[in-house]
A and B are shown apart, each in its own frame.
Chain A
Amino acid sequence: MNLIGLLSPELILLATGLLVLILDMAFHGKEGRREWLPFVAIAGLIVFLIAASFLWGTHTSLLSDMMAVDSFALFFKVVAGLSTLLVILASWDYFQGKTPYEGEFYGLLVLAALAITLAAASTDLIMVYLSMEFLSIGSYILVGYLREDPKSNEGAIKYFLYGAVASGIMLYGMSLVYGVTGTTNLAQIAQVFAAGKLTGDMLWLMLPALIMLLAGFGFKIALVPFHQWSPDAYEGAPTPVTAFLSVGPKAAGFAILMRVFLAAFPAFQLDWAAVLAAISMITMTLGNVVALKQTNIKRMLAYSSIAHAGYILIGFASVALDSPSLFNGVNGVLLYLLGYLFSNVGVFVAVIAFENATGSNQIPDYAGLIKRSPWLAGTLFVLLLSLTGIPATAGFLGKFFVFAAAINVQFYVLALVGIVNAAIAAFYYLNVARYMFFVPSQEESHVAIAPALAVALGIATFATLLIGLYPQPFIEFANQSVRLLGVF
């Protein structure tokens, strides 16, 4: 395939994003036509996913080894495409009356999806940095999208300030790596270490360099202690953006983390695996414990998504690509992300539907939801069960794989902390269920769900159950996607 063919998914996203922005300007004052903009974005995303599927099995590098076309990158293209699709469906009715600039939103969202696909494909530190900045800037704007809302502004500012510092530190770490190895290409960095030509007085720089890189990646994933921005940004951002932030950038962060560490620093696996295991334990414990006390559902989900990042990290901390076992860690991360995508975005869709109808994000206001909308309460419950990790849902499959990876490499303590956390998390997810089903409501009015939201909720719930009940194709997909260019 030629360059255009190999880059076609990215080009399609770029074209779609720009087209939506241009059409938004062209339709200025013609509100009737502007309603078509989300359809344009959705059509573009579907074409993108189809184009990406043609790259299945292709493994090559592009643009002087700046980017990889491999199964791993393809997996994250799918994640980016699906999560953006669901978020667009979820934001259909959301912005009406909140901001006049609805059209740009879809354009920015598609461009953020492009940033995720680029990040997952980067095989050079320069490219890693550029794609992460691209994603960050898009995210800052999206968080602050409601200009009139002070909370939205506060979230965006915090996100921006933390982000600026984090990316500065990351860049410094990259410069240290360059200083030690003389190259920014991931594969060449690995070769330098593999050859063992480095003298000791330079090698010690690698530990601070890795930790600095981790600060940048951890910021995107919202790992403790780089997470402080996320509760405020999640709560303040327009809820569809929160849904996107909890999945898209997190997935991108994991993609970069895995590719950089596996492709460039396999020589230091003992060091970074130990650091990541420790971070994983702190992250899930802090996320879950703080989530217990939240009364705002968006804030609760913010902390819960920090906790989920911790679980996902179990998989990567336990990575063992050469292990004969089926649980090599990376496939666990991918499966977890896939299930988490549907379940978490699904939960947010339900939250948006409730917010649209009642204007509230307070958990006690969910009281009696089973009477007001059995469908919303039922699907939200299934999705919460998935986040809890109850079998027959996608969430269980992900947990199963990451815990299995930890046991596979004999990280028993890590697995133990993981399951203790899974039990803690049940408290706050079931607390929402308690309000929905057990507590009678003051309000009796029906909670109406807009068609687009109903479709998104239906897709998310269906996919959550499908992955849980018939996981075979998804496991195969994840197993294939472990194939990183130049690593495996």
Chain B
Amino acid sequence: MDFPILTLITFVPLLGSLIVLCMPKEKERLIKQFSIAVSFIPLILSILLWVNLEKGGGIQFEELVAWIPAIRVNYHVGADGLSVPLIFLTALLTTLSLFYSSFTIKNRVKEFFFLFLLLEMGMFGVFVSLDFVLFYVFWEIGLVPMYFLIGVWGGPRREYAAIKFFIYTLVGSVAMLLAIIGIYLNTGTFDIIQAAAMRPFVENFTLGALAFWAIFLAFAIKVPMFPFHTWLPDAHVEAPTAGSVILAGILLKLGCYGFFRVLLPMFPEQFHRFAPIIAVLAVISIVYGAMVSMAQWDLKKLIAYSSVSHMGYVMLGLAAAAFAIGSKDMLTSQAIAMNGAVFQMFNHGIITGALFFLVGVIYERAHTRDLKAFGGLASKVPYYYGIMLVAGLASLGLPGLAGFWGEFFVFRGTFAIAPVYAAVGVIGIVFTAAYILWKVIQHVFLGPFNEKWANLTDMETYEKITLWPLVIFMVLFGLYPPLIVDTINAAMTRLLSGL
């Protein structure tokens, strides 16, 4: 395609947000409708993008314009089988979040929709950027709207959660900035693809390792990996529903995406050398995240910690692939592990997105998220129960739903390469089943009915509309994974062949 589809996807939300800014703040209905309409444009374009993507064709839809020629910084965007599903996920979750928020956000409406569209631009920007400076700009710009979404519309401890989120991410990103400059001074380019091909610091392992860890820090905080995860429960719990959905659904993926796009291709040698450390951290994230999840009595906090655990699978798959760099006979297992990792990213986006929406649904009614306060709601809110069951089972990895395949591929790949790590990591799956079934399903929906909730109403139409698309994808990709795996596999095979 010749027309600048990625630029449009990225900057239509910006344009929309600027128009929202100029609207009178009393016209809340108009602002809401307009914002939702705007968010449909990137959604449709991202579907077009996926349809037109040539599988295994490497970076496509490229645009390259000089931006700051004085230091050779370009506006360079492009997409491949790794980023296209994530771009689609971003567009989908943003549209659903905006739709859901148009019913639930009551105060400072104009600011909310302005910031949300700005956030969407930042997220798209990270996924499409192929220039380091551009990448960094979008990476940091996305921080600001999220800071406000948590700080203004969040829960009781929102101010603390907002600043903690901002500072944590900032610390990581400034470290990455130094590495970016170092890579530039070493290779002479800010282009991510070119720099990766030139293997920065290939002559100096120590400097390469420094740069590696600096970038690792930025991404690991965002993922988040143990021990950099402490911002996450605060931010997720305090954020408004749509904010949690985007945080879990997309912002965590920015970190994972960075590992695939930047760190692995650029520092395969360092990645290989440090893979045991990363795998250990990943396994700790999986098991520890699941155990902490199981200890929670606040539904939202439980889901928040489950993200730490689920992102651990992504990192385990990646670390396993890095383990096997250099051993040619492992290529299939590497590819399987990486496919699983990327698939898991997408799945976690739709599943945890749905779970956070569902938390929002019950919280709007009950004004509590305390698991002990519920009980026996299955017969009272059967529709809600049904959706929660599907999302919950998808989250614990029930075969037939999307969540299964991601985890399965990750462990299938990892067992072949690093069986010990996989064996320990599998424990996480047991805990996941436990907290989903025992904590969420049993405590909320089963057991004796708590009469306090006699007046609880089932899901409204807008809530059903928000959740159905996510449920459809869970089932669709669960029953027929090639729909997405083919795209990912082509990109991963290509990535691995270049290492």
- State the A residues within 8 Å of B (CB): 325-327, 370, 385, 390-392, 400, 403-404, 407-408, 412, 415-416, 419, 422-423, 426-427, 430, 434, 437-439, 471-472, 475-476, 479
Whether the Cβ atoms of B174 and A404 lie closer than 8 Å is no
B184 surroundings in chain A (CB, below 8 A): 404
- Which of these, B136, B140, B166, contacts A430 with CB under 8 Å? B166
- Among B36-44, B144-152, B364-372, B379-387, the one that faces the other chain is B144-152
Those 3 A-B pairs whose CB atoms lie nearest each other, nearest first: A419-B174, A391-B137, A475-B70
- Given A416-B178, A437-B152, do A475 and B68 touch, yes or no (CB 8 Å)? yes
B175 surroundings in chain A (CB, below 8 A): 419
Question: How near does chain A come to B188, taking the closest CB pair, in angstroms?
Answer: 10
- Given A403-B177, A407-B178, do A423 and B185 touch, yes or no (CB 8 Å)? no
Whether the Cβ atoms of A422 and B71 lie closer than 8 Å is no
A327 surroundings in chain B (CB, below 8 A): 185
Q: Does B171 contact A (CB under 8 A)?
A: yes
In chain A, what residue has the closest Cβ to B143? Answer: A390
B71 surroundings in chain A (CB, below 8 A): 326, 475
Q: Does B280 contact A (CB under 8 A)?
A: no
Q: Does B470 contact A (CB under 8 A)?
A: no
Q: Does B476 contact A (CB under 8 A)?
A: no
- Which of these, A408, A419, A434, A438, contacts B185 with CB under 8 Å? A408
Q: Does B163 contact A (CB under 8 A)?
A: yes
Whether the Cβ atoms of A438 and B152 lie closer than 8 Å is yes
In chain A, what residue has the closest Cβ to B111? Answer: A370
Q: Does B167 contact A (CB under 8 A)?
A: yes
In chain A, what residue has the closest Cβ to B151? Answer: A438
B151 surroundings in chain A (CB, below 8 A): 434, 437-438
When chains A and B are docked, how far (Å) is the Cα of A111 from the Cα of B148?
44
B181 surroundings in chain A (CB, below 8 A): 400, 403-404, 407
Whether the Cβ atoms of B70 and A479 lie closer than 8 Å is yes
A325 surroundings in chain B (CB, below 8 A): 185
What are 30 inter-chain pairs, A to B, with CB distance below 8 A? Answer: A327-B185, A370-B111, A390-B140, A390-B141, A391-B140, A403-B178, A403-B181, A404-B184, A404-B185, A407-B181, A407-B185, A415-B178, A419-B177, A422-B174, A423-B167, A423-B174, A426-B166, A426-B167, A427-B163, A430-B147, A430-B166, A437-B151, A438-B151, A438-B152, A438-B159, A438-B162, A439-B159, A472-B67, A475-B71, A479-B70
Whether the Cβ atoms of B141 and A392 lie closer than 8 Å is yes
B67 surroundings in chain A (CB, below 8 A): 472
When chains A and B are docked, how far (Å) is the Cα of A370 from the Cα of B68?
34
When chains A and B are docked, how far (Å) is the Cα of A419 from the Cα of B163?
18
Q: Does B182 contact A (CB under 8 A)?
A: yes
A439 surroundings in chain B (CB, below 8 A): 159
Within 8 A of A (CB), among B266-324: none
Q: With contacts A390-B143, A391-B136 known, what are 11 further pairs, Cβ within 8 A? A: A326-B70, A390-B140, A390-B141, A400-B181, A407-B181, A407-B182, A419-B178, A423-B167, A426-B170, A471-B70, A472-B68
In chain B, what residue has the closest Cβ to A426? Answer: B170
B141 surroundings in chain A (CB, below 8 A): 390-392
When chains A and B are docked, how far (Å) is the Cα of A370 from the Cα of B21?
13
When chains A and B are docked, how far (Å) is the Cα of A416 from the Cα of B70?
25
In chain B, what residue has the closest Cβ to A422? Answer: B174
Q: Does B69 contact A (CB under 8 A)?
A: yes
Interface string of B113-140 (1 = CB under 8 A from A): 0000000000000000000000011001
- The secondary structure that dominates the A interface is helix
Whether the Cβ atoms of A385 and B177 lie closer than 8 Å is no
A426 surroundings in chain B (CB, below 8 A): 166-167, 170
Of A391, A404, A426, A476, the most chain B CB neighbours within 10 A belong to A391
Question: How near does chain A come to B18, taking the closest CB pair, in angstroms?
Answer: 13
B111 surroundings in chain A (CB, below 8 A): 370
When chains A and B are docked, how far (Å) is the Cα of A479 from the Cα of B71?
11
When chains A and B are docked, how far (Å) is the Cα of A46 from the Cα of B148?
40
When chains A and B are docked, how far (Å) is the Cα of A327 from the Cα of B184?
11
- Which of these, B143, B158, B170, B210, contacts A423 with CB under 8 Å? B170
In the complex, which range does the number of interface residues on chain B fall in? 20 to 34
When chains A and B are docked, how far (Å) is the Cα of A434 from the Cα of B157?
13
A472 surroundings in chain B (CB, below 8 A): 67-70
Question: How near does chain A come to B177, taking the closest CB pair, in angstroms?
Answer: 7
Within 8 A of A (CB), among B84-138: 111, 136-137
Whether the Cβ atoms of B159 and A385 lie closer than 8 Å is no
A415 surroundings in chain B (CB, below 8 A): 178
In chain A, what residue has the closest Cβ to B186? Answer: A407
A400 surroundings in chain B (CB, below 8 A): 177, 181
B148 surroundings in chain A (CB, below 8 A): 437
When chains A and B are docked, how far (Å) is the Cα of A472 from the Cα of B65?
13
In chain A, what residue has the closest Cβ to B160? Answer: A434
- Which of these, B70, B159, B167, B210, contacts A434 with CB under 8 Å? B159
Question: How near does chain B come to A272, taking the closest CB pair, in angstroms?
Answer: 24
In chain B, what residue has the closest Cβ to A326? Answer: B71
B170 surroundings in chain A (CB, below 8 A): 422-423, 426
When chains A and B are docked, how far (Å) is the Cα of A386 from the Cα of B352?
35
Question: How near does chain A come to B143, taking the closest CB pair, in angstroms?
Answer: 8
When chains A and B are docked, how far (Å) is the Cα of A391 from the Cα of B122?
12
In chain A, what residue has the closest Cβ to B168? Answer: A423
Question: How near does chain A come to B106, taking the closest CB pair, in angstroms?
Answer: 15
Question: How near does chain A come to B163, taking the closest CB pair, in angstroms?
Answer: 6
When chains A and B are docked, how far (Å) is the Cα of A396 from the Cα of B171?
15
A326 surroundings in chain B (CB, below 8 A): 70-71
When chains A and B are docked, how far (Å) is the Cα of A403 from the Cα of B167?
19
Whether the Cβ atoms of A438 and B158 lie closer than 8 Å is yes
When chains A and B are docked, how far (Å) is the Cα of A392 from the Cα of B138?
9
A438 surroundings in chain B (CB, below 8 A): 151-152, 158-159, 162
When chains A and B are docked, how far (Å) is the Cα of A407 from the Cα of B166?
25
A370 surroundings in chain B (CB, below 8 A): 111
B163 surroundings in chain A (CB, below 8 A): 427, 430, 434
Within 8 A of A (CB), among B8-29: none
Question: How near does chain A come to B218, taking the closest CB pair, in angstroms?
Answer: 11
B137 surroundings in chain A (CB, below 8 A): 391-392
When chains A and B are docked, how far (Å) is the Cα of A391 from the Cα of B73?
14
Question: How near does chain A come to B242, taking the closest CB pair, in angstroms?
Answer: 18
A430 surroundings in chain B (CB, below 8 A): 147, 163, 166
When chains A and B are docked, how far (Å) is the Cα of A430 from the Cα of B164?
11
A476 surroundings in chain B (CB, below 8 A): 70
B144 surroundings in chain A (CB, below 8 A): 385, 390
Within 8 A of A (CB), among B55-70: 67-70
In chain A, what residue has the closest Cβ to B150? Answer: A438
When chains A and B are docked, how far (Å) is the Cα of A472 from the Cα of B68?
5
When chains A and B are docked, how far (Å) is the Cα of A427 from the Cα of B147?
13
B185 surroundings in chain A (CB, below 8 A): 325, 327, 404, 407-408
When chains A and B are docked, how far (Å) is the Cα of A434 from the Cα of B154?
13
When chains A and B are docked, how far (Å) is the Cα of A392 from the Cα of B67?
13
Within 8 A of A (CB), among B340-373: none
In chain B, what residue has the closest Cβ to A431? Answer: B163
A471 surroundings in chain B (CB, below 8 A): 68, 70
Question: How near does chain B come to A143, taking the closest CB pair, in angstroms?
Answer: 34
A427 surroundings in chain B (CB, below 8 A): 163, 167
Question: How near does chain A come to B221, taking the closest CB pair, in angstroms?
Answer: 12
When chains A and B are docked, how far (Å) is the Cα of A412 from the Cα of B204?
15
Question: How near does chain B come to A231, taking the closest CB pair, in angstroms?
Answer: 25
Question: How near does chain A come to B22, taking the closest CB pair, in angstroms?
Answer: 12
In chain A, what residue has the closest Cβ to B138? Answer: A391
A391 surroundings in chain B (CB, below 8 A): 136-137, 140-141
When chains A and B are docked, how far (Å) is the Cα of A391 from the Cα of B137?
5
Question: How near does chain B come to A422, taking the closest CB pair, in angstroms?
Answer: 5
B166 surroundings in chain A (CB, below 8 A): 426, 430
When chains A and B are docked, how far (Å) is the Cα of A437 from the Cα of B154?
13
In chain B, what residue has the closest Cβ to A425? Answer: B170
When chains A and B are docked, how far (Å) is the Cα of A358 from the Cα of B166?
30
In chain B, what residue has the closest Cβ to A439? Answer: B159
In chain B, what residue has the closest Cβ to A370? Answer: B111
Whether the Cβ atoms of A423 and B171 lie closer than 8 Å is yes
